[in-house]
């Protein structure tokens, strides 16, 4: 049972990493497109841009923390 739970945890970490990386890339592309088509004042006022920026930052922070945890065990 213990080994099975550890295997499940390993698979869940891999899946979470894959999903987070995909979202980081997708959201990053949207942010880049918005930055290319809007000036700073528009971006500052855009709720969509600010929300995506916060989400992107949160995903990046999550990935950094996960990597720190993984590197502690290695």
> What pTM, to 2 d.p., does this model score?
0.84
Per-residue pLDDT at 70: 87
Per-residue pLDDT at 8: 96
Which own/partner contact pairs does 50-56 have at CB distance under 8 Å and 24+ positions apart?
A: 52/27, 55/23, 55/27, 56/24, 56/27, 56/28, 56/31
Whole-number Å distance between alpha carbons of 57 and 33: 17
Whole-number Å distance between alpha carbons of 25 and 7: 27
Give the model confidence (pLDDT) of 18-70 as tens digits.
Answer: 999 999 999 999 999 999 999 999 999 999 999 999 999 999 999 999 999 98
Per-residue pLDDT at 73: 63
Model confidence band, residue 74 (pLDDT cutoffs 50, 70, 90):
low
């Amino acid at each position: 049972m213990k080994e099975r739970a550890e295997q499940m945890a390993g698979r869940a970490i891999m899946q979470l990493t894959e999903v987070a990386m995909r979202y980081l890339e997708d959201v990053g592309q949207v942010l880049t497109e918005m930055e290319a088509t809007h000036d700073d004042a528009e971006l500052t006022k855009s709720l969509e841009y600010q929300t995506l920026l916060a989400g992107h930052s949160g995903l990046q922070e999550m990935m950094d923390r996960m990597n720190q945890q993984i590197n502690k065990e290695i």
